[in-house]
Amino acid sequence: MNEIRNKNIKWWISIGSFVFLFSFIFVFAYAKMSFIVKGVKILAEIEQGPNEKITEVKGNAKNAIFLSLNGREIFIEKDGNFKENISTLPGYGVVMLVARDKFGNVAEKKFEVVGEQGAESIAFDNKEVINN
């Protein structure tokens, strides 16, 4: 009887050890691979001073390999930071950021910008400068 009890204790200890080991491996693997599940994220802000024609868009695109601002690709640093200046036109405008990671996940962030009506503005269209 004592031999059976010792065998049961050994069995329970080995099962408990395996459960703990596999749980630890699962948690570690999830922590290292969670970027696949979470996908790409954009944290951005837009700064536009009063009576200024240039607006600065800056932020961080986590896990992104491609980032576009209004359809134009912009540079991303290794840690995901970016900073880009754009020209604003008088009136209502939309600034759109689109980020993509290496697995095809896409994130978008949209800003609405209102420019001063009385300020001069410059718009760039295909390498041609148009002054208003």
Residue-wise DSSP of 42-101 = EEEEEE--TT-SEEEEEEEEET-SEEEETTEE----TTSEEEEEEE--SEEEEEEEEEE-
55 and 22 in one domain? Answer: no
Q: How far is residue 111's CA from residue 95's CA, in Å, rounded to a whole number? A: 5
Give just the sign of the alpha carbon dihedral 111, 59, 125, 118: positive
84 and 25 in one domain? Answer: no
Predicted confidence at residue 88, as pLDDT, reads 78
What is the value of pTM for the model shown?
0.63
State which residues form the domain around 20: 1-38
Any idea which residue has 């001073």 for tokens? Answer: 49
Give the chain's domain count: 2
Q: Please, which pLDDT band fits residue 130 given cuts at 50, 70 and 90? A: very low
Q: Which has more pLDDT, 119 or 5?
A: 5
12 and 50 in one domain? Answer: no
Predicted confidence at residue 116, as pLDDT, reads 64
Predicted confidence at residue 8, as pLDDT, reads 82
81 and 110 in one domain? Answer: yes
100 and 114 in one domain? Answer: yes
Kindly state the average pLDDT of the residues 69-73. 91
